[in-house]
Structure 1
Amino acid sequence: MTALWVTVAAMTGAAIFVVLASLARHRAAGGPAEAADAAVYRDQLDEISRDQARGLIDEREAEGARTEVARRLIGASDREEAAAGPATRADRRRRLAAAAALVGVPLIALGGYGALGRPEMPDLPLAARLNANPERQRVVDLVSRVEAALANNPDDARGWTVVAPIYLRLGRAEDAADAYANIIRIEGSSPDREADLGEALYAAADGVVTAEARAAFERSVKSDKPSIKGALYLSRAAEQDGDPAAALGHLRPLFEKAAPDAPYLSALKGELERLADVPPLPMPTVTSSDERKTPEERMAMVRAMVDGLGDRLAGQGGDIGEWLRLVKARAALGDNDKAKATLAAAREKFAGDDRATARLEALGLGLGLEGRGA
């Protein structure tokens, strides 16, 4: 910011000096003493600009000094004219122009910057502009054009269909919800449209299934072809209500009916595992000697740790989180038979706990230990 002010002040001073010098050259020649004084003052104006550019004086000091020197320069010029003879009308006009340049140029410049300038704005260097994502710029331009068209034709369902998913991708969830609501208003309700509306409302609420979003999701599953997305979000709503059994009730039918190559099957399994909420397996501290072990030796260490957890749970018992952790660890190691046996033992142990039972079933389905592909 300091460099900017120095540059602006130097340019202003240079402009004033050019105007004054031009006006002075057109004056009638006066006596040698007056002419010498005027030349000295002109040099002083130039010196002030150089001092400011070098940072020896600040802008305020430079303007004050420049004003005083300019005043003396005008006085010397007046004496020079007086020595040469009475001032002509043209001379008086030149003096007025000099005064206007001296006072008006800085005032206009500073006033314009005060009204239009944005000193708080950060720099935008060339490198940053070159590195800006051109794809995002094109998307923003596209949205602006569609918005302009929709302003003139708000019943254009095609336009709302174009911008709604883009709004969501740009993080404009509330605008996306409005767009999906307009699509439903114009085109009518459908499972996919209601699910899209609920998803936008969910995003606008920072990941909370609000009553309005829940209503949209419920409408999306009440048809012969219910929305997969709507069912997934209804499961998440039940989970947020603290009811994992109800959450599982929304996911299980989808899992059972899904074709082996269904595109949403992987996401569904991930949602089931997330619903199980398995605590991470604590890993042992790695020492310098462990770093020298082969991958096979390290895997043997992990297996030993998992088997140790299994022996402890079988002998002393443990909470639901530890049983879920053991099931997932054994499945990750490829010991599916042991994982299924652990799952069965855990179900027997927590048979009277609906929440624990729902989490165990969700994990079994998500890992493929039971149900499809088991």
Structure 2
Amino acid sequence: MLNFLVFAVLAAAVMLAVCWPVLKTRTAGPARAQYDEAVFRDQLAELERDKARGLIGPAEAEAARNEIARRLLSVGQGGPAAAASDAGKWTVLAAAAFIPAVSLALYLAIGAPGQPDLPLKARLDNAVANNDLLALMAKAEAHLAEKPDDLQGWEILGPLYRGTGRYADAAKAFANILRLKGPDAGVYGDYGEALVLANQGLVPKEAAQVFAEALKRDPKSPKARFYAGLALKQDGKTAEALALWQALLADTKPDDSWRGALEGQIASLSPGAPALSDEQVATTQDMSAEDREKMIRGMVDGLEERLKSSPSDLEGWQRLIKARAVLGEMDKAREAYATAKEQFKADAEASAALAQAAKQIGID
């Protein structure tokens, strides 16, 4: 407890030292008002001399005299400001005492002053038991620095790097796993994914080659198929990407974790995405991505409201279904499809068109 009191006193002393230039009172030398008064009186005397020598006209001299006199009179009105300055000093002094006191009280209330120190070695030794990910990574890194061919160490470190957003390091870890373990479809998928994430979502050439190696060993690998499709899309081969993703969707279960992302990508390649007019496109140029998405969502919501009053607009329903999917709102896309099917249940041709729109985005 004594240590915390000492730290609080030290903190207050530091704050007092920082605030001292504001707190100290200047007593040496004349006040600023005296200097100002002397300057203005000299200006008045100089003005009279210039007037006597004819260097300035009577009207100009009178105007200058009035201005100097006004400034001279204002010099003596510094009392309130000085009082305010004194009040400000007391405020600073109160803050210097208050902040350390409150900090100490909060720490004693919600902190753990009785907790013993935890040296780094002890933290590393108990990393697994305490579920301390940072300590666990540090321990694994230290171990692998000495034994770089320890496969198990890399298998621990790779997922930890990926889970904490260190994608470039994760890619290196998975590369080492491949080096020590040999070709493996799952590890190739993890390696390629880490390369993509480290490259801000773009599939570099090296990652595309890695996914190709994964598919040679497991043609059904979901991760490799998904990213292989993404590489095709980014290369402008949208038809091939769509075919690959639709085949993957057919093999995907409703509760698979990647289904939502897959459906969104399929929807992005399907016709019927929300379209903006030329005027709206110009308006969105200076918008942030968030504001632009809000605008598009507003358009789609408006389309949905319009269809409530004009439910026989088949094209509108098709656009709504696909637009919801493009926005990643797959549940709303399904709701729109169900409503449209009910609306056109007596029209075989319209029902077929709706089914085709739903199939393109993978909800039928």
TM-score by length of 1: 0.48
